[in-house]
Structure 1
Amino acid sequence: MKAPIPLLILLRAFVVHCQKDVVKRGSVEGCTDWSVDYLKYKVLLGEPVRIKCALFYGYIRANYSHAQSTGLSLMWYKSAGHGDFEDPISFDGTRTSKEEDAIWFRPAELGDVGYYSCVLRNSTYCMKVSMSLTVAENDTELCYNSKMRFFEKAELSKSKEITCPNIEDYVQAGVEPEIVWYKECKPKQWRQTIERRRDILSIQEVREDDIGNYTCELPFGNFVVRRTTELSVTAPLTDKPPKILFPSESQMSVMEMALGSPVNLTCRAFFGYSGDASPLIYWMKGDKFIEDLDEERVQETDIKTIREHLGEQEVSISLTIDALEESDLGNYSCYVENGHGRRQANVQLTKKAELMYTVELAGGLGAILLLMICLVTLYKCYRIELMLFYRNHFGSEDIDGDNKDYDAYLSYTKVDPDQWSQETREEERFALEILPDVLEKHYGLHRGRSALCGPEQAPHHRHDAQLRGAEGVEHL
């Protein structure tokens, strides 16, 4: 005897965990409820949408035709929220209609928002699943709603394909779809390295200016179907560990700090693009993490992003000590790491040598410097007076070869009176009268005796003329 066909269908029903992310709620009014399907329908106001019963796409091994042939009925209900009271849906056949395993909205309106449940049942068997529908208007002056975009990433200088997603229900089999692409809702003259093939926009070599929103538009009867994808561009995936910018990786950095003073050690590092992985940077003292030191005075700040471009980041993290103590001295290491390796930079905290008697030493050096400035100034202004004072009180008398003492002497050319001219008279007058007068009045030098050669001078100077010939000498 053959088992009833509905029973065979029930035996073949099973959960496909690898395809659906659902939670079984158990039996409600004798119906197995599979809660809300993971696929969420989103549509722009005024566009058509088709909601398919998810039971036939992963929950049971039967299609709609098979289920109908075994006496199972498909019914549709709507509720404002999941778990709320569900009302049977009445279709008007024009804007809303039921077609096989799906319901159509041509077009969708804001009042269509809610949860739609499809129930497959007969007198002995019942199974149910719900699908959510969101209807939203375009953002101001745009052709899309930012909450309904798809998202794609591309690496700089590499190729990328952007598809027009979820348009299978709006394309007739065997007919090439007439898809128009826009960027930022405006027609664009695409460069030669960008190709359009059916529902694909292919970029051969991604550039930074390719970042933006790409909208594909497909005609469907009297309506249009739009899908918008936001493309973000990143740097190529890195294959190197992060690089520490400060402090230096190559040598130990030594910091001298006074006890009791606050300390701030900042570590900066560059991270190449590593997908969605966050930068990993931290401080350690020896082999201990900072949070394991049990010192409230020693803290590690949050990671700060200094700059970011195409997924590459420069970040920093600081180690702070409120008031340095002896126990805080030692070696501290900044570590950075990603999936390709780890690097570190070391800083040694040492106690700053204290300068004893700082005030007294500074005062003594200042007094010495001031005294030296005064002595130099005094010497510059009264150099001759000081020399004369020293000679009068401490120096020995200097005498010339003729046993005559003097401070200085000047010589000039002695000219015979018969050969005098106006020029020679002025020269002799300058030597005998003007210059000695200046030296006597301004420098305190006194003329003791004259050694001018000539018959009119004193007899005891005549031998000077014999020795010097035609030369006159004035001793001071």
Structure 2
Amino acid sequence: MWGHRFVLTLHILTLTCLSVGKAELCIDDGVEFEIEYASVGEPLYAVCPLYLLFEKSNFNVTWIRNGSQTEFTSDRQERVHQDQKYLKFIPAQLQDSGFYQCILKNSTFCIKKIRRVEVFNQDDGLCYNHSVRFLNEIPIMPSLRIECPDIDIYVNTRNIQVKWFKECQPLNMDSGRYLTLAKDLIIKSLSQQDSGNYTCEVSFMYNGVTYNISRAIEYSILDLPKEIEPVMTFPKNNILDVKLGDSITLTCEVFYNAIIDLYWTYNDTLMAQYTEDDRVIMGTTDKTITEDGIQNFLTLNFTKVLEEDYNKQFYCHIWSSTSTFYVTLRRPDPNFQGFLIAFFVSIFLVIVIAVIAVRIFKVDIVLWYRSSCLANTDCKDGKMYDAYIMYPKDSMGTSSYEMDIFVLKVLPEVLEKQCAYRLFIIGRDDLPGQAMADLIDETISQSRRIIIVLGNLFCEKQGDDFEQKIAMYDALIRNKIKVILIEMEKITDYTDMPESLKYIKQKQGVVQWKGEFTESALSPNTRFWKNIRYQMPPAQRHSDKELHYIHSED
């Protein structure tokens, strides 16, 4: 209602200053959402939806049917005629249903708005239409007052006689349960049997003709549990965490078998006195009717929570009960959830990256650690050699030229001279006349690693000397001496290779020589030599200054 008045007043303030030359321009205020209903044959006064504006200023009122330019007459003898703010249908007919414009105009201002009219027939065999009823739902109470609605503009409600019907049958007014008072019907000793459709009927005279005006009201009487105490479902001495500056709405909820009054307090004073501004607003009591009872609600709205609101007890009260409960607002504890999630995700990522880095750079990491001051390179296992070198020879005891260069020149140059390892190489370190089988057995037992250089000659038939070495090698595998396999030549077929070598290759793989016999290929910092050094034991040396490294790119 106040919003409607504000809009109309705004129209007056902004548009009354228009010049007379623009008076023909008329503001269209749309369609009124409320509909005027009437039964066929009954009078209908359609009220101009701009009536508040009409009462404030001197306007001429014109009614036309929407889509037509013909004004309705003011002749009271016509069935449909206008009478100031009313468009009167005496009586209403089905063809009257539709939209009608109410136009207010003076020399400087014009505005129009549409009113919808709906004329209906009563349902077959009934005195009302189901779709046009005033619906009500209430709990059982000692008595009920039913008002005959929307008849004030037709008759003087202080001195009228209203006929009342239930389900279109006249009420027995002599029963003592019914009493009429002006336009109201009072029912005593209310029960569920009083649920139903009530119709009120009043007489109305116009131009010497008497008409009837009827209204239909449906009442549903709910049989709620009796003799129950109000139950407050919220609050129940709750503590709520609210951030400073946030808004929050507290809702007092009380279940009862009737509508009751609730109120909020702080320190035994109403919340209206809690603040001098409108920062804290107490709402109005609302309700929800269920089959089991009535849920009563009263809100307390904090538009902005301040420091002064914390740790105070706000009580909700029931007028008819001494039971009270409170709710306390509290500053929430710091939320570390986001930090913990980020922390553990970061830890997980660091671990994953570390694992990947170790897998990719494990060779460089191990070699760096061995060269650092943290590593202890003193080996006290009593063995004389860091590695025993085994390479293929034919039945005549000879090997290929490239194999000899690699074993007798390249390996000693890098592993002995530059990396300070001690190697034992058959053909270089053995003495003439020594028993070969005993020498190999003893030397291998004095070595920390066995380096086997593979070539295609391994795939051919080997002499007894080499088979003896392989047998010794098998014994070493059982004794868990680590073996390093180097492919000097690309071997595509391992079919004729001894089973022991196949096993070692499958278990730990091989290191392939892909370089040439150049100066850069002899640098211990190439990928090939790093892999060899990684599988070798830590070199026993005092410092890197004693070594003569040849630096090169990987």
Q: How does the TM-score come out when normalised to structure 1?
A: 0.42
- Give 1 or 2: higher strand fraction: 1
Relative contact order, CA 8 A, sep 6+: which one is greater?
Answer: 1
Q: How does the TM-score come out when normalised to structure 2?
A: 0.37
